[in-house]
Structure 1
Amino acid sequence: MFRFHRIANFAVKSIRPAIKCNKHDTLAIKCNKHDTLETQRYLLITHRFYSNKKKDDTTCRKTEPIKEIDKSKLNPSDCKPRDLKPCKPPESVVCDRKPVPSLQECPKPNLMSDMPKPDCAWEAAEARQRQRNRLILILGAVLAALSIGTVFFYLRQKNTPVKEKKIKKKISSKKKRTPQKIPADPREIPKDVPYLLIGGGTTAFSAFRAIKSADPLAKVLVVSSDGYYPYMRPPLSKEIWYSEDSQLTKNLEFKQWNGSQRSLFYEPEDFYTKCKDLLASPNGGVAVARGWSISHIDVVARVAYLENGDAIKYDKCLIATGATPKNLDVFEVAEGERLEQIKSVAIIGGGFLGSELACSLAHKMKDNPSLKIFQIFKESGNLGKVLPEYLSFWTTDKVKSLGVEVMSDSEVTAAVPKDGRVKLTLSNGDPLVVDQVIVAVGVKPNTQMAEKSDLEVDPDLDGFLVNTELQARSHLYIAGDSACFYDVKLGRRRVEHHDHAVISGRLAGENMTGAAKPYLHQSMFWSDLGPDVGFEAIGIVDSKLPTVGVFAKATDRDNPKALVTTTDEGLRASSEDEIPEECKKFVAKSDDAQKKALEKRKALSKPRDGEDFGKGIIFYLRDDIVVGIMLWNVFNRMQVARQVLQDEKKYDDLNEVAKLFNIHEE
């Protein structure tokens, strides 16, 4: 049963008045079996029981007020204070109930200094305990420091930048190459010009040639972040590696496939006018400020700002900033260095540049059997994004025959230095240690000035948005790799090839002089995998589209070398993969079945005896309409291809269309 005895005791302690004794009050303390201890003043405490009383219960059960005393009969002198420490009834009074303690029993304040001193030798024990705690603290700090140091060392080793210690010692004096500013004094750069070209590549060269053709007295200022005059890029991954004369390469010259010698630069240095003499030249000219860049443009005021803040006013402006090579995250912190003696090279990328470089380096080092060339890419075969699968497999076999070790369906997940070399980790976990790594995974357009210049960038294709006349504003034109233009036949596009740079630059230059022409030209591109295999293409060339290929046996005249010999010109500018019928039975859903099907399709992609993919035409279809054409080892037929695209017809038999290209002629 429940009782509230503890609650009652707490109430007594809380509300009981202090016991006093003065000349007006007397203290009467009584206690017996039936009465509780009370003061002169009334204090009623109620106890409630919920159980039967025991017969021998001697607990005070009744609380009655003490009768009031007549104060007039009291003599003040008779009131003597009693000692209330401890508060208890007189010895003569027998009470079996514990009295309620007085609130004044504990002296206040209760200080620690009033506590009694311990009897034992506590100082020595406390000193030992403090010494023990100090040792534990020191040991814990040492262990924590070692743990943090171990973790930091592991993370540092794991994320170490790709740098080679031996190379550092060998070329420690070399720094990252920065273009020299010519002229060094920005005051020599004209501050008010009729024509301003931003960028110094192929597009700018083609543009100022068109401007000078339409306006022979034109004064053109080119501001280029490159340290060189405009030069051609395509030979850098092709012909220049086939030269046996090292001095020729150092002079930035190369031999074309037919053996004729040519400079990388479009024009000699004396073709250009010095910046400080441009405005004073009576016949006009072209001046190139090398090593300088434009930070942004005020399109309303027609003012371009140099990186140092100097302003250049213009009447017409062309942005031809081109594109920058992409990089992989694992190589972002790597230093670009050149090794004189190498034994192995890894080329990352299976597109145009990666495949061309792999073939060129293999040819360059054919007399050095100790040199190994590795090509790593995530596609199933070389040029897998543009060629139909069967032709991509055939091309991969061709590249392997040149001595390149091709690693398809692979990606680089890590790169760390190891004994002066680079250790690559592939997506399948295999390691690969090489002396040098070349990253060729595409480009991204240079559109850094867009936001500050209030220019629009295409969210899907990147590049500055322009109309069919390549205009971003009435006085501002954009061409080349950085332009996203509207193709009236194929929709909005952005093209990154040499021919497009030439044609779009030429059109922009003509429009800057008042031509107002739309960009209707279908630009082409080409690639050479050495002197024996090459192709040209036009339109939308994407391996995801359905394709139809028509091939014929090649002759000695059907290769890039024969073309250059004839023309003496190496720069040729002016949906689902289609699977062969016999391969469709291998198509499956599971991973193992797909791998087996891939291997069998590779085997079936090889030409049968007496046949070859020596030359042919590949048609790329969208909604049964030809939107792209590739000429495989077929040259000087690009005008025919343009006409087929222009017609936009649905052909019942593309074999008949292929006859237009005369691929079967001997």
Structure 2
Amino acid sequence: MRYDYDYLIVGAGMVSANATAGIRERDERGSIGIVGSEPNGPVTRPALSKKLWTDPEFGFDKIWMKPEDKGATLHADTRIVSLDRDHRTVTADNGDVFGYGRLLIATGGEPKKLDLAPSERVLYFRTVEDYRRLRELAGSQRHIAVVGGSYIGTELAAALALNDTRVTLIHPEQVLGDRVFPPDLARRFQEMYHAHGVTLMGGRRLASGRQDDDTVTLTLDSGETVAADAVALGLGVEPVCDFAAAAGLAVDDGIMVDEMLRTSDPNIFAAGDVASYPDNLLGRQRAEHVDNANRMGQQAGAIMAGSEAPYTHTPYFYSNVFELGYQAVGTLDSSLRTIEDWQEPQSRGVVYYLEEDVVKGVLLVNLKERLDAAREVIKERTPGDREALIGRIR
């Protein structure tokens, strides 16, 4: 089949729904097509590891984003495999061809995988189907191993522990969170997991694994083994830009775009997890966070429909585990010098991350609505000391 659209979006995730809204703000009639490998269309992905597990009043029906309501045509469960820039078409793995006036690539990322095949009990956690399956496997004191100590791994371990599940969290850090948090906060972060009954196996990596009927057995690099009813892996993602690179678009840890989110082809744009963009405060980066998907997706749609406003937003990221909630802007790296400003000991405050005395990142712990102030501190780019920073954000 052949389909033609004024605006074609490849990738059926959060960016596509937001881009549709951005297009419709400026163009009420242009045809919009969304084609992506996601089987269900756009969803609010953070809910899959957060609210759906922790908020009884947050129903499953609330995760769905519906670009069809704004006149977009959705082609889900369809993977694009090639791009023909001369003829302005993309081709799917089923042979369908999609023509475009302007193209937005929003293919996001795919989970990093190890030498352990995915199955009904081995989940590289990313999709709605992964959530549904993990829900079926959780509870009743069944045992689930979680591999990975970053955002997805720590959120899943906390969510499972709060839902009547025995959890073993396997991660490479000596203290959970110590690559991001200063030492005292990392110890407190780890202690929360101990207090909620999570078995922590730090300083270890997965070497191999096998599934025998209803049991998954993991072998760690330490030689230890862990037998569980299932394993959920949260190892980060790789940007999906293979067909873009094959078509000659500039790619370097993502598809390279300018401040107008335009690629090296003036008719093709990129946004979300897959886009490497010039951030006003932080320099060129690729952001895998929901705030970026929302804001960049919206702006990409507006630009495609004629807006001349560049993307200038510096996104934040956040996580909620047990009683700790945090938001952050910039670089969080515990190897940087940190200055801590606690309003309540280790439970409410600010951590500044400095490189050569210049603030590169700001962590807000249980301190909402201060993200703009955090951005301002980074924007100043002037040397800061403890006296200047303590009390700066309240």
Shared fold, TM over 0.5: yes
Query: Residue deviations 1:377-436, cap 9 Å, x none?
Result: 011222333222331121000111111111111112222345741222222222221111
Query: Residue deviations 1:532-589, cap 9 Å, x none?
Result: 2100001122222221111121xxxxxxxxxxxxxxxxxxxxxxxxxxxxxxxxxxxx
- Offset of 1:348 from its aligned partner? 0.4
1:298/1:419 CA distance change after superposition, 3 Å: closer
Q: In the alignment, is the contact (CA less than 8 A) between 2:341 and 2:391 conserved in 1?
A: no
Gap regions ≥5 residues in structure 2: 122-132
Partner of 1:234: 46
1:290/1:232 CA distance change after superposition, 3 Å: same
Structure number with larger C-alpha Rg: 1
- Offset of 1:234 from its aligned partner? 0.6
> Which whole-Å CA distance do the structure 2 matches of 1:535 and 1:510 have between them?
31
* Correspondence for 2:22 among 210, 214, 220: 210
Q: Which amino acid letter does the alignment assign opposite residue 362 of structure 2?
A: I
> Which whole-Å CA distance do the structure 1 matches of 2:325 and 2:206 have between them?
28
1:419/1:218 CA distance change after superposition, 3 Å: closer
Q: Which amino acid letter does the alignment assign opposite residue 404 of structure 1?
A: V
TM-score, normalised with respect to structure 2: 0.90
Q: In the alignment, is the contact (CA less than 8 A) between 2:17 and 2:67 conserved in 1?
A: no
> Which whole-Å CA distance do the structure 1 matches of 2:166 and 2:320 have between them?
21
Decide which structure has greater strand share.
2
Partner of 1:507: 299
Q: In the alignment, is the contact (CA less than 8 A) between 1:352 and 1:383 conserved in 2?
A: no
Partner of 2:241: 447
TM-score, normalised with respect to structure 1: 0.54
* Correspondence for 1:647 among 369, 380, 383: 380
Partner of 1:661: 393
Q: Which secondary structure state, in structure 1, belongs to the residue aligned with residue 300 of structure 2? A: helix
1:219 counterpart = 2:31: yes
> Which whole-Å CA distance do the structure 2 matches of 1:537 and 1:243 have between them?
23
> Which whole-Å CA distance do the structure 2 matches of 1:400 and 1:380 have between them?
14
Identity %: 31
- Offset of 1:244 from its aligned partner? 5.4
1:334/1:301 CA distance change after superposition, 3 Å: closer
Q: Which secondary structure state, in structure 1, belongs to the residue aligned with residue 74 of structure 2? A: strand
1:477 counterpart = 2:269: yes
Q: Which secondary structure state, in structure 2, belongs to the residue aligned with residue 364 of structure 1? A: coil
- Offset of 1:334 from its aligned partner? 4.1
Partner of 2:318: 526
| Aligned residues between the structures | 378
1:308/1:359 CA distance change after superposition, 3 Å: closer
Q: Which secondary structure state, in structure 2, belongs to the residue aligned with residue 221 of structure 1? A: strand
Q: Which amino acid letter does the alignment assign opposite residue 83 of structure 2?
A: I
- Offset of 1:267 from its aligned partner? 3.3
- Offset of 1:454 from its aligned partner? 1.4
Partner of 2:172: 378
Partner of 1:335: 119
1:334/1:225 CA distance change after superposition, 3 Å: closer
Q: In the alignment, is the contact (CA less than 8 A) between 1:195 and 1:314 conserved in 2?
A: yes
Q: Which amino acid letter does the alignment assign opposite residue 339 of structure 2?
A: V
Partner of 1:634: 367
* Correspondence for 1:266 among 60, 65, 77: 65
CA RMSD of aligned residues (A): 2.1
Greater RCO, CA 8 A, separation 6+: 2
- Offset of 1:266 from its aligned partner? 2.2
> Which whole-Å CA distance do the structure 1 matches of 2:55 and 2:364 have between them?
27
- Offset of 1:624 from its aligned partner? 1.1
Q: Which secondary structure state, in structure 2, belongs to the residue aligned with residue 390 of structure 1? A: helix
1:382/1:516 CA distance change after superposition, 3 Å: farther
Q: Which secondary structure state, in structure 1, belongs to the residue aligned with residue 342 of structure 2? A: strand
1:363 counterpart = 2:363: no
Q: In the alignment, is the contact (CA less than 8 A) between 2:54 and 2:159 conserved in 1?
A: yes
1:198 counterpart = 2:14: no
Partner of 2:128: none
